[in-house]
């Protein structure tokens, strides 16, 4: 076949040379970023003014005084005040390959050569097809049954699409099942499913939700029996009116990185299947962090899942669903699916995960997880009054500092920020500090440096100096 003009442009030697020069320039300017740096005095006033203006525009204060320069080097990110910090929360899981990755620079150049900034319902380019097809193949690798999928621009939109697919499939059923302490999003509908009342304060009730208790690792068999019995109770109380159940395999925002096990999830899914209720796997945060591409694959649950949502590290988000769940035309159509740059970045991330040794019990994810977890275990051994944990699974890691009170965990996170490490809180009663490290950009030395800073921050906060 004769090449298309788009293909001629992509293969133009000037484009290849431009990519080479940009990559070389990026790598050269990354060289000085070798570790944590304090803010620059000459940037202090302008930085504070910018932060103040941003807070005025938002109408609420920022959690961290963070305004990025748009540049970094792997796990290190540069702020607009000239400071450099270790980013161990990665935008709550977005920068899986770290900051300013040279391969993502090239993906961005490829995206910039295309004429569509945002792809969508009427105009999806070939790379959009390639991404959704790659996601389907990855999801079906270990027993998944997914036939269809649609890209979207946010994790919340992916979960909204999943919710609508389930509601339409089970119409007129209009109730949803979810876990206590689960998080599905903050839209008008998803805030009802998220088990955090503060996120729906002042909002009208849009959908009825019945909650099921999550797994308790201290009482695995007992908690599994209790969850199944409560699920059966909901099904008896509201026969035939549940449209689906949302599953977070590792509870994030609200649950503090509590992880279940395969037996617990399988038992509930068997009950749901017997009742004809769809299983929705929310993998917005778990994608690519458990040692398999999807957490449902890690737990061996591919036969049960009807809809799976994903996002964060892939930049472009998506909902994948089985042939039986295919919606009617128009239900999940949208103007924008994602930007071309997000789609190109997502393609690179998925190919990296699948083909560069990240997955499996000996993969990079498992090795990074072990190094960081071992460090936290050692901290708990030496300072049991400071640390309990770790919790979570794979590259979703959390621990309970001190007494787990929200005030003390928040104080620790802000002390860490001042000392050059970005982490974030999760859960309540107890509250925890969580890490979503940039697995694709870390060395053991980076983990060791962060653990040392964490110990110093814990000591400072234990003395009331945080």
Give the list of residues 6+ apart from residue 237 with CB closer than 8 angstroms, or none. Answer: none
pLDDT of residue 117: 87
Q: How many CA atoms lie within 13 A of 113 on its CB side?
A: 21
Record the tokens describing residue 427, joined without a space: 């859960």
pLDDT of residue 38: 97
Q: Are 83 and 39 in contact (CB under 8 A)?
A: yes
Q: What is the pTM of this model?
A: 0.95
Strands 432-435 vs 396-401: parallel, antiparallel or unpaired: antiparallel
d(CA 150, CA 162): 10
Q: Dump pLDDT digits (tens) for 136-148.
A: 999 999 889 999 9
pLDDT of residue 466: 62
The tens place of each residue's pLDDT in the chain, 466 residues long, gives 899 999 999 999 999 999 999 999 999 999 999 999 999 999 999 999 999 999 999 999 999 999 999 999 999 999 999 999 999 999 999 999 999 999 999 999 999 999 888 999 899 999 999 999 999 999 999 889 999 999 999 999 999 999 999 999 999 999 999 999 999 999 999 999 999 898 999 999 999 999 999 999 999 999 999 999 999 999 999 999 999 999 999 998 878 899 999 999 999 999 999 999 999 999 999 999 999 999 999 999 999 999 999 999 999 999 999 999 999 999 998 898 999 999 999 999 999 999 999 999 999 999 999 999 999 999 999 999 999 999 999 999 999 999 999 999 999 999 999 999 999 999 988 999 999 999 999 999 999 999 999 999 999 999 876 6
pLDDT of residue 465: 67
Record the tokens describing residue 231, joined without a space: 């699920």
DSSP collapsed to 3 states, the chain: CCCCHHHHHHCCHHHHHHHHHHHHHHHHHHCCCCCCECCCHHHHHHHHHHHHHHHHHHCCCCCCCCCEEEEEEECEEEECCCCEEEECCHHHHCCCCCECCHHHHHHHHHHHCCCCCEECCCCCCHHHHHHHHHHHHHHCCCCCCEEEEEEECCHHHHHHHHHHHHHHHCCCCCEEEEECCCCCCCCCCHHHHCCCHHHHCCCCCCCEEEEECCCCCCCHHHHHHHHHHHHHHHHHHCCCCEEEEEECCEECCCCCCEECCHHHHHHHHHHHHHCCCCEEEEECCCCCCCCCCCHHHHCCCCCCCCEEEECHHHCCEEEEEEHHHCCCCCCCCCCCCEEHHHHHHHHHHHHHHHHCCCCCCCCHHHHHHHHHHHHHHHHHHHCCCCEEEEEEECCEEEEEECCCCHHHHHHHHHHHHHHCEECEEECCCCCEEEECCCHHHCCHHHHHHHHHHHHHHHHHHHCCCC
Strands 424-426 vs 250-251: parallel, antiparallel or unpaired: unpaired
Q: What are phi and psi of 362, to 5 degrees?
A: -110, 10
pLDDT of residue 181: 93
Q: Dump pLDDT digits (tens) for 327-370.
A: 999 999 889 899 999 999 999 999 999 999 999 999 999 999 99
Give the list of residues 6+ apart from residue 292 with CB closer than 8 angstroms, or none. Answer: 142, 298, 359, 360
């Amino acid at each position: 076949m004769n090449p298309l003009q788009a293909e001629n442009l992509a293969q133009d030697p000037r484009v290849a040379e431009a990519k080479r020069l940009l990559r070389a320039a990026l790598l050269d300017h990354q060289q000085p970023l070798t570790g944590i740096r304090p803010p620059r005095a000459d940037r202090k006033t302008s930085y504070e003014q910018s932060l103040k203006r941003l807070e005025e525009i938002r109408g609420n204060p920022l959690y961290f005084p963070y305004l990025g320069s748009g540049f970094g080097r792997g796990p290190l990110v540069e702020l607009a005040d000239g400071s450099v910090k270790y980013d161990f929360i990665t935008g709550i899981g977005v920068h899986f390959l770290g900051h300013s990755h040279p391969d993502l620079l090239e993906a961005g150049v490829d995206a910039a050569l295309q004429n569509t900034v945002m792809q969508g319902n009427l105009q999806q380019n070939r790379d959009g097809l390639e991404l959704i097809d790659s996601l389907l193949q990855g999801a079906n690798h270990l027993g998944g049954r997914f036939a269809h999928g649609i890209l979207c621009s946010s994790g919340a939109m992916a979960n909204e699409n999943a919710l609508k697919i389930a509601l339409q499939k089970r119409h007129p059923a209009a109730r949803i099942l979810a876990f206590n302490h689960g998080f599905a999003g903050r839209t008008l509908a998803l805030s009802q499913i998220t088990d955090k009342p503060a996120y729906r304060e002042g909002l009208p009730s849009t959908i009825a939700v019945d909650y099921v208790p999550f797994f308790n690792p201290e009482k695995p068999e007992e908690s599994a029996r209790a969850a199944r019995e409560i699920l059966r109770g909901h099904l008896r109380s509201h026969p035939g009116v549940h449209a689906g159940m949302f599953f977070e395999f590792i509870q994030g925002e609200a649950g503090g990185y509590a992880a279940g096990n395969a037996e617990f999830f399988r038992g509930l899914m068997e009950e749901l299947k017997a009742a004809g209720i769809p299983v929705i796997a929310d993998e917005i945060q778990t994608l690519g962090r458990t040692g398999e591409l999807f957490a449902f694959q890690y737990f061996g649950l591919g036969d049960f899942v009807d809809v799976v949502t994903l996002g964060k590290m892939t930049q472009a988000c998506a909902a994948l669903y089985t042939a039986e769940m295919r919606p009617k035309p128009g239900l999940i159509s949208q103007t924008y699916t994602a930007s071309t740059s997000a789609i190109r970045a997502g393609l690179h991330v998925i190919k990296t995960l699948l083909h560069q040794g990240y997955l499996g019990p000996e993969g990079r994810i498992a090795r990074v997880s072990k190094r960081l977890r071992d460090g936290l275990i050692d901290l708990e051994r030496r300072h049991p009054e400071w640390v309990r944990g770790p919790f979570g699974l794979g590259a979703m890691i959390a621990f309970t500092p001190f007494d787990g009170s929200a005030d003390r965990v928040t104080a620790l996170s802000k002390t860490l920020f001042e000392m050059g490490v970005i982490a974030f809180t999760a859960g309540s009663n107890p509250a925890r500090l969580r890490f979503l490290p940039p697995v694709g950009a870390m060395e053991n030395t980076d983990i060791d440096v962060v653990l040392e800073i964490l110990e110093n921050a814990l000591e400072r906060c234990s003395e009331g100096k945080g």
